[in-house]
Structure 1
Amino acid sequence: MDDLLYLEKLGFSTNEAKIYTTLLKHKMLNGYEISKYSGVIRASVYDVLNRMVNRGTIFKIDGEPAYYRPLEYEKLIEQIKRETEANLEKAQALFQSISSEEMQEDYVLNIVGFEKFIAKAKELIDSATQEISLSVWQKEFSFLHDSLNRAIGRGVKVYLFSFEQIPLQGATVFSYRICDIDNLFPYRRTALIIDNQQALIGESHIDRGIFTYTRNRSIVSLATDEMVLNIFWYRYIEKKALLGQKNTSKEFLSVMDRLADELGIDANMTKNMQVFNYQRERGDHNGDKT
């Protein structure tokens, strides 16, 4: 019977479904009669009956022979509902636990393409609940501005570092305000850190951008440390009044030269030398060292 398929979907075996519907129709039968009317062979019928008695689906009336009657179908339906709801709640708790564990894995995901990077960055910013740290450029910032505003509106703390002028009301901004940044850097690196737990880092190029997303604590910590170091440099330069409200790339590099001399930092000790060498190759750095 096709109708029995519905009972099978509710946890009945084929033979259990046959026996229950037979008893529901005839009210009370012994084992021989159940086998005869249901079509379940006598060699199997008593094993099935015992299982159903243990589950409370049918009741056994002792005697010679023993008789069986079904649990009222209304009560059976309520029992199935309760068991199903309890199992669904357990399944939901299990899935949530597994999902939470999976989110904590230290996997690294590569994202290729600027548009995909922006989409992921917006997703992360929208998920932030406590703090956002972002090292950014004007181009990337223009795409993320609205998402950052929404985060500020939710009460999320936002910290921005940039070599360019980046205005964002409600955020703490550290900006060198360099007006000709394209003459300064051979790359355009962006780092986004969400709630000190997730990081999205990468460099934009003319033809293609490659970015990395991760929850790996070491990588998130490295990204955070780099941003903090940039802020320390910015604060030191600001305190020394070495730069003005609007600066050129040459002025910035001149300050870096001066600080390198002052602090005894050579080409083997700082990534800023990558910028210096880039400028030397372009012949744009008036303060070149020999």
Structure 2
Amino acid sequence: MEHLFEQFEEIGYSKNEAKAYMALLKEPAINGYEISKKSGVPRSMVYSVIAKLVAKEAIIELRTDPPTYTPVPVKELIRNRKRQTEETLSYLEKELQVIEKPVEVNVIKHIEGRTKIINAMQKLMLASNEEIWLSAWEEELKELSHSAIEQGKKGIQLYSMLFTDQETDSFGKTFYHRRDTASIEESRMSKRLTIVIQDNQEVLIAGFVNGQIPQAIQTAEPMLVLLAKEYIRHDMMMKVVSDKVGNDMLNSLWRGDDLLTYIVRNVKN
């Protein structure tokens, strides 16, 4: 019988309530004293248990002297309990949704293969409504140029760090890594790190390596969007400094210094 009591407890009845109800199923229309005697519920508690069962619509009080009780048929009991549970759950759903604060989960999508990555970059660029930040290499520029030109025509601002010797008007406000500095970047990272940022909301970061299947991630995670944007900004500003002072002067700052050489070229002496 214990397993039945446990199931009753699962639907909101106490063990004593289950005992009293089951006693009435076996012998209906008996009074409180008899319910206590047949169910094993203590006499000191039986009328409290009976009152709870009446309130839960599990038993019915008969107008006799003394009062007697009969159980609601099992099917009706289960039907009533389902209705009460559904009403309670519906109420909770409605009221809790009012105070619920949505949890934003920014997934990181992994993309593999050149075609899929380029398509995702183009789609992200075309989805922009305000501005695009781009860091891209000569090998990918042709495939990205159409999206850049289309968005430029719409007045979308483009800020581009391009790794190429060929200047272009297709990518908005543009800064250039010429072949000499581009080779340092590619050697340090062992890949062509390529970044597209859409409206400060979403970023795609890809690594292209000759002879290997390229990999990329795409996410709306704010910290990764910020990190990628700051990387491009820093790269642009360093190119401005380099163009102002000259590569020789800039290179003299780190050559001969083991720590700075490691930072700039990823080479430990």
With normalisation by structure 2, the TM-score equals: 0.54
Letter of the 1:5 counterpart: E
Identity %: 27
| Residue 164 of structure 1 pairs with residue 164 of structure 2 | no
- Residue 38 of structure 1: CA displacement? 1.1
1:192/1:91 CA distance change after superposition, 3 Å: farther
- Residue 87 of structure 1: CA displacement? 4.6
Alignment counterpart, residue 145 of structure 1, candidates 117, 120, 138: 117
Letter of the 1:178 counterpart: T
Which residues in structure 2 correspond to 1:75-114 (within 5 Å)? 75-89=76-90, 90=92, 94=96, 100-101=102-103, 103=105
1:83/1:223 CA distance change after superposition, 3 Å: farther
SS at match of 2:137: coil
Instruction: Provide the rounded CA distance (Å) in 2 between the counterparts of 1:72 and 1:39.
Output: 22
Which residues in structure 2 correspond to 1:31-42 (within 5 Å)? 31-42=32-43
CA-to-partner distance for each residue in 1:103-138, whole Å, 9 max, x for gaps?
59xxxxxxxxxxxxxxx6425x8xxxxxxxxxxxxx
Cα root mean square deviation, aligned:
5.1
**Paired residue for 2:9?**
8
1:257/1:160 CA distance change after superposition, 3 Å: closer
Gap runs ≥5 in structure 2: 150-159, 166-178, 208-216, 262-269
CA-to-partner distance for each residue in 1:170-203, whole Å, 9 max, x for gaps?
74484624375332465587767677557798x9
Letter of the 1:148 counterpart: A
SS at match of 2:46: helix
Letter of the 2:120 counterpart: L
1:190/1:94 CA distance change after superposition, 3 Å: farther
CA-to-partner distance for each residue in 1:61-108, whole Å, 9 max, x for gaps?
24431111222222221122223334555369859976724759xxxx
With normalisation by structure 1, the TM-score equals: 0.50
Which residues in structure 2 correspond to 1:1-290 (within 5 Å)? 1=1, 2-89=3-90, 90=92, 94=96, 100-101=102-103, 103=105, 121-122=108-109, 142=114, 145=117, 148=120, 152=123, 156-157=127-128, 159=132, 161-165=134-138, 166=140, 167-168=143-144, 171-172=147-148, 174=160, 176-178=162-164, 180=179, 181-184=182-185, 186=188, 196=200, 224=229, 257-258=242-243, 260=244, 277=253
Letter of the 2:21 counterpart: Y
Higher mean displacement: 60-69 or 192-201: 192-201
Gap runs ≥5 in structure 1: 105-119, 126-139, 204-210, 235-251, 262-266, 268-272, 283-290
SS at match of 2:36: helix
1:122/1:103 CA distance change after superposition, 3 Å: closer
